[in-house]
Structure 1
């Protein structure tokens, strides 16, 4: 049972944790080594009350990376370690801001009238043209264009009303 859970977690998060580690160390073999160690240590030391496995994996990966560079500090000048730490902190902050924007956008999409939501989903996530959407929804392309415009305007208003800067 635990082996299956480990396999599922690894399949689900390995790519994003690898990319995170690679962005920190800029070395694919080191990132791969740290990735393997991340999953081993994360599962062996997971607190019983921890509910967010993804966040735990990021925390363990980050700590392993900085521990590795502390051990190798004579090979890496102090200024470079500080630059790496600043870059990592900036990436974490950017990730948090992006997640917040995505959460707010998801809420805004759910507030839209069903037809408008469908049009935007088909247009942006399905990659369909307005003509294709019109054929699917049995509407005119002009009507699709108008509803798409109105939906985007409503999304913008929702985001601005919730103090999210869109500039």
Structure 2
């Protein structure tokens, strides 16, 4: 793979792949390491003329994560806390608090989904991938992706309504 193509791939997909990996491992440093391994594999092994590099990168990232998990005797489940800067004005502070609470509720609702549904939602909405691309990464049919996405959205809606009621 030539350097220019690699830099284009990195520029185009590094942020969304990082978010995807972070959502899987919930650890910033682990996600960064996996991201670098993913692009190293791309640099060393990506076949020339591959038709869907984005799906290939997601598949490599996912496989690296699960291979790493198999090697570990116990999972690392850490979550970083976001800190609101001291120089925020009161209106900004309230907006930040409300936005952060909404993100936490969404995060909790996503964690309640089973793994496959959670991955589909993350790839579809946070990665902007098509159902066909997701199907290729997860080795299922696009129809199965559509059904699982529909069910996941129903579950998310129900969970978010319950969380808002608490």
Name the larger-Rg structure. 1
The two structures have a TM-score, normalised by structure 1, of: 0.48
Q: Provide TM-score, normalisation by structure 2.
A: 0.49
Larger RCO: 1 or 2 (CA < 8 Å, sep 6+)? 2
Write 1 or 2 for the structure with the bigger share of helix: 1
